[in-house]
Structure 1
Amino acid sequence: MKRIILIVVAAMTLAACNNSKPNHTNAAHTAKEDEETSAATDKTKADTAGVADTTAKTVVTETAAKTKTDAAVAKDRSFEEVYSAYFELKDALARDNGQTAQQAAKKMQAVVAKIDATKLETATAAAWKQYQRKLAFDTEHIAGIDENGHQREHFVTLSKNMYALLKVVKPEAPVYYQHCPMYNEGKGAHWLSKQKAIDNPYLGKSMPTCGSTVETIQ
């Protein structure tokens, strides 16, 4: 009888051990799953944060680039207005039209005055500070009188300074630097044109095709 009781007790103990082992295994497995889930969640959060940071940096970079591009476009447009007004003045002198030359000079004077050197890139700003007053001086004098002779005297120095400016701030389209050998008793003078064909602003209608192209600026 005692032997039977011992066998029953042993069997019950073995069964209890077997029942407790799976519970321990299940608990460990569940803990491992929780740990893996937590790690995956942390990785997802980190990846999301990384993407957000990269996106933010990209937006900042693109915004800065766009701002710089917009500023460059605005700058180029301002100088193109200066060049356009100069060409109008040149064409008026080539037609011996003093009043039209006056109006073109006034227009050029206005666009020259509105360009702010502090908003330009370093090299451009340095050139503009050097030539802005000179351009303003000659356009003021040309705008103040409709007599072609005096207008052309100032157009000589205006063209000289415009040439120097164009070498720094390149035009959108090619500009032709041209020379008249006969102006001012053979001393000659230069001018700028957007057409390669000669249309002399110094001799006007008397000798419109006198001269040659000496350089193309682009």
Structure 2
Amino acid sequence: MRKIYIHTVLCAALLASYGCNNQQSGTETKDSTAVTAEASTPVTFKDSKADSIYQGYISLKNALVANNEEDAKKASASLEGILKTTNDSLAVQAGKISTAATVADKRLAFNDFTENILKEIRTQVSGGTIYKQHCPMANDGKGGFWLASEKEIKNPYYGEAMLSCGTVEEEIK
């Protein structure tokens, strides 16, 4: 019985590792200096409002990565204020993230918010790269997206529990 249990645990760990592999199949591997150079190029925008929205979003994402409920609340409340002048529906979504009771509740609203933020800023990028990243296990296996300024995966849906779970789905330049 013990051997079956150990075998089951090892298989589950292998599957989780496979599902959260940072490498995409068919993607060319780059040396570490190329990745470092990509990460050091800051994202710039045509419009200062888009820059403020993106920087606020990154603060929110980083707070979720750190599992910091208070910082996530502050970042989403700040985003709500910025968005009230440009996009009422996004401001409402940011407000829902801000008032959500727990980090887990904030994460539930984060995926749709990400998709809508991307629509708002996609055409405003004038330099650097935004990485649209995806975790297949987030949101009860439905998957979840987030945006990052670096290629390295830092998963806001699980924080330290599965920090590197995910792949880069798109590079927005």
The aligned runs of 1:94-105 (5 Å cut-off) are 94-105=65-76
1:209 aligns with 2:164: yes
The residue identity in structure 1 corresponding to 2:63 is A
Classify 1:95/1:76 alpha carbon distance in 2 versus 1 (closer, same or farther; 3 Å).
same
Classify 1:208/1:158 alpha carbon distance in 2 versus 1 (closer, same or farther; 3 Å).
same
Could you tell me whether the CA contact under 8 Å between 2:64 and 2:159 is conserved in 1?
yes
Identify the structure with the greater helix proportion.
Answer: 1
Could you tell me whether the CA contact under 8 Å between 1:96 and 1:148 is conserved in 2?
yes
Determine which of 76, 79, 90 is the counterpart of 1:135: 90
Report the counterpart of residue 25 of structure 2 in structure 1.
none
The count of residues paired between Structure 1 and Structure 2 equals 129
Report the counterpart of residue 81 of structure 1 in structure 2.
52
Determine which of 187, 202, 209 is the counterpart of 2:142: 187
Larger radius of gyration: 1
Q: Which runs of 5+ in 1 are unaligned?
A: 1-73, 116-131
Shift of 1:173: 2.6
Identify the structure with the greater strand proportion.
Answer: 2
Report the counterpart of residue 109 of structure 1 in structure 2.
80
Compute the TM-score of the two structures, normalised by the length of structure 2: 0.70
The residue identity in structure 2 corresponding to 1:141 is K
Report the counterpart of residue 40 of structure 2 in structure 1.
none
- Provide the C-alpha distance between the structure 1 equivalents of 2:57 and 2:172, rounded to a whole number of angstroms: 15
Classify 1:114/1:133 alpha carbon distance in 2 versus 1 (closer, same or farther; 3 Å).
closer
Shift of 1:195: 1.1
Could you tell me whether the CA contact under 8 Å between 2:133 and 2:167 is conserved in 1?
yes
Could you tell me whether the CA contact under 8 Å between 1:134 and 1:161 is conserved in 2?
no
User: What is the SS of the residue equivalent to 1:202?
Assistant: coil
- Provide the C-alpha distance between the structure 1 equivalents of 2:46 and 2:131, rounded to a whole number of angstroms: 22
Structure 1 runs (4+) greater than 6 angstroms displaced = none
Shift of 1:83: 0.3
Compute the RMSD of aligned alpha carbons: 1.7
> C-alpha deviations, 1:160-210, integer Å up to 9, x for none?
101222323225431100000111221111110111100000011100000
Compute the TM-score of the two structures, normalised by the length of structure 1: 0.56
State the identity %.
Answer: 31
Shift of 1:146: 4.5
> C-alpha deviations, 1:52-99, integer Å up to 9, x for none?
xxxxxxxxxxxxxxxxxxxxxx97111100000000000000111111
